[in-house]
């Protein structure tokens, strides 16, 4: 062992005396500096984006552009989307027509010195937007046909685009009376964003980024739909989960995560084979986190609530026993909507022989808990045409012709909020957003949305869209925004971002 240690010591001593004869003469290399590029650019879809960066070189006084190669590449910053061709240019300057899907991209400009092979790069963000990138989408009736309009969000607010399908050349002409329009996310990816438009002549799917016609609804359904079918209501509680109610009185279910696609009707009680007639309204848990994934449907044949669970996708099952009322109501369902009020109460208005109406509330969460059941004593409610529930205050809004009422469920008092005279209210709604984290949702989820129709004006411009702030303690409505020039508004959705 001592000899081994001595040999190691000698070897170390000899190596420390070794003279390093390597060549350590340093040579300066040509460094490329890139300037004249901002951190963010907003580019209209289909436009030519021109960018001329400034290049300086530490060892190239001639600035010979032929001594370098250039590359411009774009990569989507959103998750869940891939781009087949993300190369924008191979030139010193960028001058390219941008046809990438709308969204935010990281663009890399790379300059490589041919002599050294060393590359230098500059990064920046590019937001690709379209005229239909974000905003309110309104489906109206004009001379017994349908027209799709949009309030497009821009840097200076919302700008109306009348007949948006015609203005962008969508490849679709709507015929028949308006029924429903709904922005939906079939998947979390941008490519899964879509807009369903329904008229009495059918349902079409639009590309969510361009609003171009994509396909008829039948393409999305794994069963043969009956002749003359259209979707009269699409409900989506969260991304990639949807319910679609058809004019055949059936409900169809979609859940991308578990590869469940629109197919056979799900309004079939477990153990039976014949579908029951189902209402178009859906109740659900407001917050998907920790939920039981329960959705509540209404069996119109047996006049009772039933539940549909993703783990039993082909059937419905009985509701639990109620603590305030029986889920087998024996009444017709006039209206149902899940709200953000009281941590997600579902409001259901029940019609007893068109003589009395009852308001039932229940919360769909870890369990289905009933929270309220009382007769609805609102003025002239038998004549109510459109209904909306305020998400923060729980008020019931409804209209009778041109009279807009607010019903306070706590005091059971009705207040006439607005009398439009000879005009009529064609549309009422609150919320409609999937979440309230986006800028638009924060600003508008608790606004009362009102469609007003003036029969004295030309049909193509007789409608207006109004947004009201709803004060507490039954305060008067405060008009916050108003837009005109629409047809008779039937329904509205928001193209979210």
What does the block give as tokens for 207? 């590309």
Share of the chain above pLDDT 90, in %: 79
What's the average model confidence in pLDDT over 127-149? 95
Structural domain ending residue among the three candidates 376, 411, 445: 376
Nearest 5°: the CA angle 278, 266, 363 is 65
What's the average model confidence in pLDDT over 142-164? 94
Strand spans (E) along 314-402: 317-318, 332-338, 345-352, 356-364, 368-375, 387-389, 396-400
Structural domain ending residue among the three candidates 319, 353, 376: 376
In which region does residue 486 sit, left (phi positive, over 0), alpha (psi from -120 to 50) or beta (all else)? beta
Q: Supply the range of the domain harboring residue 327.
A: 277-376
What's the average model confidence in pLDDT over 198-225? 95
Range of 18-22, 84-88, 107-111 with top mean pLDDT:
107-111
Share of the chain above pLDDT 70, in %: 92
Residue 285 within a domain: yes
Residue 448 within a domain: no
Structural domain ending residue among the three candidates 376, 407, 441: 376
The confidence score (pLDDT) of residue 292 equals: 52
Contact 258, 332 (CB under 8 A): no
Residue 420 within a domain: no
Residue 333 within a domain: yes
Read off the pLDDT band of 48 (50, 70, 90). very high
What's the average model confidence in pLDDT over 355-369? 92
Contacts of residue 234, defined as CB under 8 A and 6 or more positions apart, other chains included, come to 180, 182, 184, 196, 242, 243, 244, 245
| Residue of higher predicted confidence among 136 and 127 | 136
Residue 219 within a domain: no
Read off the pLDDT band of 82 (50, 70, 90). very low
Residue 157 within a domain: no
The confidence score (pLDDT) of residue 290 equals: 43
- Cα–Cα distance for residue pair 341/359, rounded to 1 Å: 14
Domain count, the chain: 2
**DSSP code at position 132:** T
Residue 125 within a domain: yes
- Cα–Cα distance for residue pair 323/110, rounded to 1 Å: 68
- Cα–Cα distance for residue pair 199/230, rounded to 1 Å: 7
CATH code of the domain in which 109 resides? 2.60.40.10
Residue 82 within a domain: yes
**DSSP code at position 322:** P
């Amino acid at each position: 062992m001592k000899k081994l240690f001595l040999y190691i010591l000698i070897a170390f001593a000899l190596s420390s005396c070794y003279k390093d004869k390597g060549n350590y003469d340093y040579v300066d290399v040509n460094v490329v500096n890139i300037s004249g590029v901002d951190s963010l650019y907003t580019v209209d879809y289909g436009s030519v984006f021109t960018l001329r960066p400034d290049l300086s070189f530490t060892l190239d006084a001639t600035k010979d552009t032929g001594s370098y190669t250039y590359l411009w590449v774009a990569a989507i910053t959103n998750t869940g989307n891939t781009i087949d061709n993300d190369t924008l240019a191979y030139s010193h300057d960028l001058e390219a027509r941008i046809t990438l899907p709308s969204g935010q991209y990281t663009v890399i400009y790379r300059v490589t010195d041919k002599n050294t092979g060393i590359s230098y790069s500059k990064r920046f963000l590019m937001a690709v937007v379209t005229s239909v990138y974000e905003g309110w989408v309104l489906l109206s009736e004009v001379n017994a046909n349908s027209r799709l309009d949009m309030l497009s969000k821009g840097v200076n607010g919302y700008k109306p685009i009348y007949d948006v399908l015609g203005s962008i050349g969508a490849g679709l002409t709507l015929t028949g009376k308006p029924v429903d329009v709904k922005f939906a996310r079939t998947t979390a990816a941008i490519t899964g964003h879509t807009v369903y438009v329904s008229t009495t002549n059918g349902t079409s799917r639009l590309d969510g980024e361009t609003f171009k016609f994509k396909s008829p609804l039948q393409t999305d359904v794994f069963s043969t739909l009956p002749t003359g079918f259209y979707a009269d209501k699409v409900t989506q509680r969260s991304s990639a989960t949807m319910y679609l109610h058809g004019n055949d009185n059936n409900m169809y279910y979609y859940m991308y995560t578990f590869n469940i696609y629109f197919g056979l009707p799900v309004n079939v009680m477990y153990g039976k084979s014949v579908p029951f007639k189902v209402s178009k309204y859906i109740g659900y848990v407001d917050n998907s986190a920790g939920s039981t994934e329960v959705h509540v449907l209404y069996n119109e044949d047996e006049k009772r609530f039933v539940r549909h669970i993703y783990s039993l996708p082909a059937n419905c099952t009985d509701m639990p026993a109620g603590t305030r009322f029986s889920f087998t109501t024996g009444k017709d369902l006039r209206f149902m909507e899940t709200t953000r009020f009281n941590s997600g109460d579902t409001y259901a208005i029940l019609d007893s022989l068109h003589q009395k109406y009852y308001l039932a509330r229940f919360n769909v969460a870890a369990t289905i808990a009933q929270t309220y059941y009382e007769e609805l004593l609102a003025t002239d409610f038998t004549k109510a045409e459109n209904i909306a529930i305020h998400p923060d205050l729980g008020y019931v809004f409804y209209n009778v012709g041109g009279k807009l009422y607010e019903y306070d469920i706590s005091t059971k008092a009705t207040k006439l909020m607005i009398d439009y005279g000879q005009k009529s209210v064609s549309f009422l709604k609150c919320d409609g957003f999937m979440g309230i984290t986006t800028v638009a949702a924060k600003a508008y989820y608790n606004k009362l949305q009102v469609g007003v129709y003036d029969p004295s004006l030309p049909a193509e411009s007789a409608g207006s869209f109004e947004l009201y702030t709803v004060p507490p303690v039954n305060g008067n409505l405060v008009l916050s925004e108003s837009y005109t020039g629409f047809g008779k508004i039937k329904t509205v959705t928001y193209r979210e971002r």
